Amino acid sequence: MRAVDETLASLKRSGVDAIFGLPGGPLIPLFDALHDDPDLRLFLVRHEQGAGHMAEGYAKVTGRAGVCTATSGPGATNLVTPIADAYMDSVPMVAITGQVGSTRVGTDAFQEADIVGITLPIVKHSYLIKDPADLPQALAEAVYIAESGRPGPVLVDICVDVWGKEVEPYSGPVPPVIPGYLPPTSGGHPRQIAAAAEAIAAAKRPVVYAGGGIIAGNAADALRRVAEIAELPVNTTLMGLGGFPGSHPLWVGMPGMHGIAAATYAFQDADLILAVGVRFDERVLSTMMSEWAPNAKIIHIDVDPAEISKNRSAHIGIAAQSAAALDNLADAYGRLPKKHDPAARATWMAKINAWKVEHPYHIADDREFIQPQHVIQALYKLTGGNAIICTDVGQHQMFAAQHYLFDQPRQWLTSGGLGTMGFGLPSAIGAQVALPDRLVVDIAGDGSFEMTLQELSTAKMYGLPVKVVILNNGYLGMVRQWQELFYESRYSGTSFAPFQPDFVKVAHAWGMPGLSVDRMEDLEEGLIATLNSDGPALINVNVDPMAKVFPMVPQGEGPGAVIVKG
């Protein structure tokens, strides 16, 4: 068959049912083939960055590879940001880019860019297809590599003259055998698992530190089993929210720069930390690594062996699939003749709960303005905590993480490692494509929203009922907060006034409902009207322009420098 037809067939064999992209010369054959394919849904975006983030949103809620496509040159380079975002957050994604003709590669041809070279540091693997015979194997490998082991983005760059050539369809094993690529499939070495179980039993003040690997590894049930059997308090990172129920009595909260103070204090007082699917990121540890949990024994479980002891030395390192390792750990713990002291665990949990009561998330008592935290709390109440929540990056992201409790994995979609403004709306669209019957809400900041707001057109075009809630403070809020606290309130380049667009009119321009709220007494009614709209809808909530996110551990400081409230 033609290489372009094998491309579509290969994607479908791998379970792909949607592609997000924008055409251009080297992609015309691909879009022409998609025109006649009833099984692959094509979503025409308004900017290639949107295509990449939509693929991420699709992948985050399904666990399957999201697929995006862009033409050569500027189209491909517009995918660099979402590719980097997917790499940092371990999101399975396949980016298919068009390239100039195989004989013109390297000649600086029109719209040529070395996208393989450009993205080399931010992909899990990449292919440049100049020979049609290489395409079937590359496509079979691409989805498998993206989804297996530690997930990540894979780039397939295809020369335009390849599409029309005849190729033999892929007939090899599924999954394909790739020499040298052996992602961990076990649940950890039995001796390491046994040592971890014994260490947990001996600990007086243990804490679980769980991250995005719990979500990617489908390990939420296994984590809950371990926590309950050993009575372990659990912290989940920004990327791990939903990996352990936020309403569970053993859940402490989110740790880190803007995490609840009790989580920071628990780490500092812990004598053992069970770290699962985490990178020991500086947003949790700050840059004062030696001051973080100084007396704790570290057990580190991760599917990527390179992460173990990379940022913080592990006393017990276990390279394994997180779900299998945690199930094995629970089994090993259950077989121990001597387990933890229930009274000691109860005392430890009571101490943590006392910290939570003493240092709750701070909300300013300024009744002149709507406080952004109250918007999140109202949204949580009205949705019953069951919505899929997507965010951009900034203050609104932290407010959402702090005040919307997540009881299920794959409910929370945000950009963690790269911190990409503009992520929220397109990722929400991708999630809605994957789960058309779920309520998907994009909580946006006014600054971030302007970066990809053109994708409202995509939502309207395909009738995707994404709801956008803008927390509008007229600033790049997180930067403004830093300027206020650390730069003597010199607000340089952080205010959009008076040139900010009317977001309600922007929504109306695409023929969708839009409304604005300025008073607290109108907030709930406005949210209800937005959430009950049949298609995509937008609500602009004008919030306190000077609201700040607390707690806060200043960058470069140790956890002892935490600012609990302003």
Q: Which CATH class is domain 372-542?
A: alpha beta
**Token reading at 93:** 């994604």
What's the DSSP call for residue 291?
A: G
pLDDT band at residue 556 using 50, 70 and 90 as cut-offs: confident
Strands across the sheet containing 316-319? 251-253, 234-236, 206-210, 272-276, 297-302, 316-319
Residue 356 has pLDDT above 90, yes or no: yes
pLDDT tens-digit map of 292-311: 889 999 999 999 999 999 99
Least confident of 180-184, 363-367, 434-438: 363-367
Domain boundaries, the chain: 3-162, 190-358, 372-542
Distance CA 23, CA 71 (A): 6
For residues 357-374, average pLDDT: 92
For residue 37, CA distances in Å to 30, 42, 70, 472 come to 11, 9, 19, 42
Distance CA 504, CA 469 (A): 11
Q: Do domains 3-162 and 372-542 have the same CATH topology?
A: yes
Q: Which CATH class is domain 190-358?
A: alpha beta
Mean pLDDT of the chain: 95
pLDDT tens-digit map of 177-223: 999 999 988 899 999 999 999 999 999 999 999 999 999 999 999 99
Q: Determine how many CB atoms are found less than 10 A away from the CB of residue 263.
A: 28
pLDDT tens-digit map of 515-545: 999 999 999 999 999 999 999 999 999 999 9
pLDDT band at residue 142 using 50, 70 and 90 as cut-offs: very high
Q: Determine how many CB atoms are found less than 10 A away from the CB of residue 231.
A: 18
CATH topology of domain 3-162: Rossmann fold (3.40.50)
